[in-house]
């Protein structure tokens, strides 16, 4: 069965604020990739929408159709719900009422990698398909394991961010279980002068190789329409940082 609960990181309200400070628009080249797709689609579902910033940007740019964000994280959803004119649903798929009406589903910020087991991935893809109109598209990305991104997830490369109240947060990442051909587990430690700190979060991410992922999509009723290796839409190669897929519902 698809994992119904997400990562506890995204339930916490302070960590959700830290997430936004850590991923400001200036570093979100993925938004530049997904926004044109969203603007061309009438009804859009953002699965694992987090704090809702992508859909909000689409609305600010003048998207007039249905925009719906779905996320199991209570902390991020609370932030998202501050944006007006967008429906935000707490939960994941399958979700009653989200059947067969979206022209486009997106899944950004590597949220797809939160689904770990093979059976859960297959069931998830089937339920995404059921949310789409015939001919609708699913656009998402997953990090390329051949690029071994976890090798940079080390405590000697901390991130430092400032929150709205000007408190300073240092984030260190430690891999707790290395790549075993499928998953990597890691811990984030958050320290700083905010009274809610220190905090720690533990996460596991699933990695997919491009060909097996394409096969899974085909078997789940999608046709692979396009595959890119980065958010500048360069072709996918073994060295690409990302496997970005646009799959169309058959």
Ligand X SMILES: C[S@@+](CC[C@H](N)C(=O)[O-])C[C@H]1O[C@@H](n2cnc3c(N)ncnc32)[C@H](O)[C@@H]1O
Which residue, 111 or 239, is less far from ligand X as judged by CB?
111
Question: According to the binding rule CB under 6 A, does residue 6 interact with ligand X?
Answer: yes
H-helix or E-strand containing 209?
none
**What backbone phi and psi angles, to 5 degrees, belong to 47?**
-90, 125
3-state helix, strand, coil in the chain (%, to 5): 30, 30, 35
Question: According to the binding rule CB under 6 A, does residue 76 interact with ligand X?
Answer: yes
Which residue, 47 or 244, is less far from ligand X as judged by CB?
47
Q: How many residues sit in the footprint of ligand X (CB under 6 A)? A: 20
Which one, of 37, 1, 246, lies nearest residue 118 by Cα? 1
C-alpha span between 205 and 185 (Å, rounded)? 6
62 vs 35, 137, 138, 235, 239, CA distance in Å? 11, 21, 22, 30, 36
Tokens matching residue 5: 């609960």
| Residue 53 Cβ vs ligand X, minimum distance, rounded to whole Å | 7
Specify the stretch interacting with ligand X by CB under 6 A; choose among 2-10, 36-44, 163-171, 200-208. 2-10
Binding test (CB under 6 A) with ligand X, winner from 33, 44, 50, 131 = 50
Binding test (CB under 6 A) with ligand X, winner from 3, 66, 122, 209 = 3
Question: According to the binding rule CB under 6 A, does residue 222 interact with ligand X?
Answer: no
Question: According to the binding rule CB under 6 A, does residue 7 interact with ligand X?
Answer: yes
Binding test (CB under 6 A) with ligand X, winner from 18, 41, 45, 48 = 48
Question: According to the binding rule CB under 6 A, does residue 115 interact with ligand X?
Answer: yes
Residue pair 149/24 in contact (Cβ under 8 Å)? The answer is no
Question: According to the binding rule CB under 6 A, does residue 67 interact with ligand X?
Answer: no
Question: According to the binding rule CB under 6 A, does residue 69 interact with ligand X?
Answer: no
Tokens matching residue 181: 């051909």
Residue pair 70/89 in contact (Cβ under 8 Å)? The answer is yes
Residues near ligand X (CB under 6 A) are 3, 6-7, 10, 23, 47-50, 71-73, 76, 92, 108-111, 114-115
């Amino acid at each position: 069965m698809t994992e119904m609960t997400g990562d506890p990181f995204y339930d916490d309200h302070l960590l959700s604020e830290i997430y936004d400070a850590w991923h400001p628009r200036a570093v979100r080249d993925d938004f530049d990739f997904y926004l044109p797709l969203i603007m061309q689609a009438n009804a859009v579902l953002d699965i694992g929408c987090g704090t809702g910033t992508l859909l909000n940007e689409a609305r600010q740019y003048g998207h007039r159709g249905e925009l719906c964000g779905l996320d199991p994280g209570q902390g991020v959803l609370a932030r998202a719900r501050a944006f007006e004119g967008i429906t935000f649903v707490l939960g994941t798929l399958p979700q009653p009422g989200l059947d067969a009406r979206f022209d486009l589903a997106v899944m950004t910020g590597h949220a797809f990698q939160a689904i770990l087991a093979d059976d859960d991935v297959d069931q998830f893809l089937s339920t995404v398909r059921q949310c789409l109109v015939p001919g609708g598209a699913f656009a998402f990305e997953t990090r390329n394991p051949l690029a071994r991104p976890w090798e940079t997830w080390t405590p000697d490369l901390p991130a430092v961010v400032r929150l709205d109240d000007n408190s300073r947060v240092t984030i260190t990442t430690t891999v707790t279980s290395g790549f075993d051909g499928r998953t990597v587990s890691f811990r984030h430690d958050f320290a700083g002068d905010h009274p809610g700190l220190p905090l720690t979060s533990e996460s596991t991410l699933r990695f997919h190789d491009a060909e097996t992922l394409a096969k899974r999509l085909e078997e789940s009723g999608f046709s692979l329409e396009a595959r890119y290796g980065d958010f500048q839409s360069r072709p996918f190669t073994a060295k690409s940082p990302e496997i970005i897929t646009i799959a169309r519902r058959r």
